[in-house]
Structure 1
Amino acid sequence: MTKEKNPLDISDTLKDHRSDAFMIVGNSGNADMYYSSSFFASDSFAYIQTKEADEILLISDMERGRAENESRVSQIRTLQECKYRDKIKERGDPSLAYCDCLAEILQHHGARRITVPRDFPYHIAQTLKEEGFSFEAIKSPFQQLRSRKSEQEIEKVKTVQNACNLAMEAAVNMIHKSEIVDGKLNYNGFDLTAEEVRHQIDITLLEHGCESEGTIVACGKGSANPHWEGTGVLRADEPVVIDIFPRSKKNRYFADMTRTVLKGDASERLKDMYEAVHVAQEVAIEMIKPGVKCSDIHGRVCDVFEERGYDTTRSGSQSGFIHSTGHGVGLEIHEAPFVGERDTVLEAGNIITIEPGLYYPDVGGIRLEDLILVTDDGFENLTEMEKEFIV
């Protein structure tokens, strides 16, 4: 019988590094761990892929049944199979006993030269070195694979982005329906705060099986800090940057969207900033297709801003356009490919954000962000929410 090809075969990478196996130890909070195993567990477990592309999971005994049903990896080993409890008695230390279990599996597969991710636990590597194994920390071999989404992954991201769209609509609707009282936004008779808008976003996301941490609802001059979450009463005539980056509680994939809105009267300066950001985003999105360099997209965004008299990252300015144009989105909210100064070439299956922004401490910030799928012949914008500045 012909052996079925491993779709996550990284044997070429192992060959390049003269390695016998690649190993990850962690829980499903590690994106590579979840991607490679398709198994969710809050406790630490181990994934190993040999140079023959054989894959093994080492898990606790209580997780065996679930791993056999849910994981894409067929070779499941448990700690008890490795006589973990006996090893604890011999070693007097559970951590050392765990390392001995790993050593047993590696030896069984003839693996002595091990590659690991750069954040691999130091204690485990050091202990196994003392047992005769050699280690090399390398860039994740799964990063490039993860950047090219399968049809199933694309559908997962779309589902989360749909929830994100509903949450953004709910947030903007609160601001739209608010009244201006003494320069502040008033909603249903009470001052409208960043916290209340975030609460509505959280409720909407939870209703659709998603969750979000660090949601930004930043009003006024403080929004010139791109990652300020925002706090307190929202005020009239000031920009409100809303950045939502939810994750599905079930499939672990992220989505991302930003809108900037204003209730009241916008100054001519803010209007001009918004128009510049909108134009820069449209220009960048229209460039997206396989084979285009991320650095070219970022450079064109800088061109648009500079032609309109705004500072950019190219001059090292601390105001104006002060971050990259975008990033990949998947099992991590920031992952490859990164749309900035790197010459990374876009490929079909990439899902990236395009999020130009302008930030000036004396007036605040403006940012617009759409989530874009790179298709075989161009792009598909996964973001439905319209762009209206004054609401």
Structure 2
Amino acid sequence: MDISDLLSKHKADGFMIMGNAENADFYYTTNFFVSDKYTYIQTSGSKEILVVSEMERGRAEIESRITDIRTLQDYNYREKVKERGDSYQAYVDCIAEILQKEGIRKIGVPRDFPYHTAQALKEEGFTIVDMESPFRKLRSIKREDEIRHIRYAQKACEKAMAAAIDIVHKSEIVDGKLLFRGFELTADDVRREIDLALLDSGCEAVGTIVAGGKKAANPHWEGEGPLKPNESIVIDIFPRSKKHRYFADMSRTVLKGEASVELQKMYDAVLAAQKEAIEMVKPGILCSDIHDRICDVLESQGFKTIRSGSKVGFIHSTGHGVGLEIHEAPFIGTQEIPLEKGNVITIEPGLYYPDQGGIRIEDMLLVTEDGYENLTSLEKRFVV
């Protein structure tokens, strides 16, 4: 995790992360999950320090990769609370004491660093330098253990997706409605089945999309109410392993009944575009070239794309990295960023028209030494 070169570039004495349990950089650097407030410090000499509450010291010493574990009480936190009458300010005072004793006067912080903390440290004579997280680039190249965790989450995701599609498949069309076990099938019914399958595999998901009908022309509409026959249903699941904290991601679009000519044409175009984009994936290929190829294929079949500024058709980027965050580097869009071995990315073209609905197909891929491995094996079948 040595970031001394970056610190030298910014003429900083150290780098610090302070925040809550959802900070992906903190988990990546420490391999430690904690619900209490924490601080991670790396000095220009590559010394790493983890500051946790006294209650977390024992667990941190067992679980964290950081060997220099310190607690607030090592710096008389309780006494500082009494003096200050403010627990947050007392916390900052403890951190300031650590920085001072380590000879850190100019400290680099990520761009989402707490404003109040930065101001308080400035008032105590420290210089704050905001910089892009040095760990986000490191996180984009996955280690073998990270790939293993992502594979696990994706297997759980596929299990949940298969369960969701199976419900749609087993539903019956009666009087223009989709019925499952005698009741009208709803988006919430399908989401419940997805959640149960994920929990059974030790995973969880928030914001799962089960979007049917014309409203699915909004790519991030989660979906609600009854699902109907002869309409596309976009299902997008992005679960996280509860134990290892890594995400997976996949989308499928299905339809029960008969697809209209327009919807079938949309689905076939998205599938063709995705296939061509996936075949391009390898180290060195520019993300922008993959995105442009998606646009080329869709435009050649008469569909509008974001490349021309359209508000309908293909209206988002082609994909993104997946890891400790569901959206992380590299981003498969207009930037001329080359893929690297170890990237885990999605390829997820879609088409969205308010008078038809939405179509999206998403696979997750690992960039290998000379190409890719598709981590998504579930079939792509529109009419179920």
Q: Same fold (TM over 0.5)?
A: yes
Deviation at 1:182, TM superposition (A): 1.4
State the alpha-carbon separation in 2 of the partners of residues 109 and 84 from structure 1: 18
TM-score (normalizing by structure 2): 0.99
User: Any residues of structure 2 matched to 1:150-169 within 5 Å, and which?
Assistant: 150-169=143-162
2:99 aligned to which of 106, 130, 134: 106
* Partner secondary structure for residue 142 of structure 1: helix
State the alpha-carbon separation in 2 of the partners of residues 70 and 109 from structure 1: 24
State the alpha-carbon separation in 1 of the partners of residues 342 and 20 from structure 2: 26
User: Any residues of structure 2 matched to 1:1-391 within 5 Å, and which?
Assistant: 8-391=1-384
State the alpha-carbon separation in 2 of the partners of residues 298 and 25 from structure 1: 35
C-alpha distance after superposition, 1:272-329 (max 9, x if no partner): 1000000000000000000000000001110001111110011110000000000000
TM-score (normalizing by structure 1): 0.97
Q: CA contact under 8 A between 1:372 and 1:382: conserved in structure 2? A: yes
Which residue number corresponds to residue 4 of structure 1? Answer: none
Deviation at 1:92, TM superposition (A): 2.2
State the alpha-carbon separation in 2 of the partners of residues 226 and 95 from structure 1: 40
1:369 is aligned with what amino acid? E
State the alpha-carbon separation in 2 of the partners of residues 282 and 360 from structure 1: 22
Q: CA contact under 8 A between 1:28 and 1:39: conserved in structure 2? A: no
1:353 is aligned with what amino acid? T
Q: Unaligned 5+ residue runs, structure 2?
A: none
1:86 is aligned with what amino acid? E
State the alpha-carbon separation in 1 of the partners of residues 86 and 201 from structure 2: 44
* Partner secondary structure for residue 259 of structure 1: strand
State the alpha-carbon separation in 1 of the partners of residues 265 and 45 from structure 2: 58
Q: CA contact under 8 A between 1:298 and 1:340: conserved in structure 2? A: yes
Q: CA contact under 8 A between 1:27 and 1:40: conserved in structure 2? A: no
2:228 is aligned with what amino acid? R
State the alpha-carbon separation in 2 of the partners of residues 22 and 295 from structure 1: 32
State the alpha-carbon separation in 1 of the partners of residues 3 and 70 from structure 2: 21
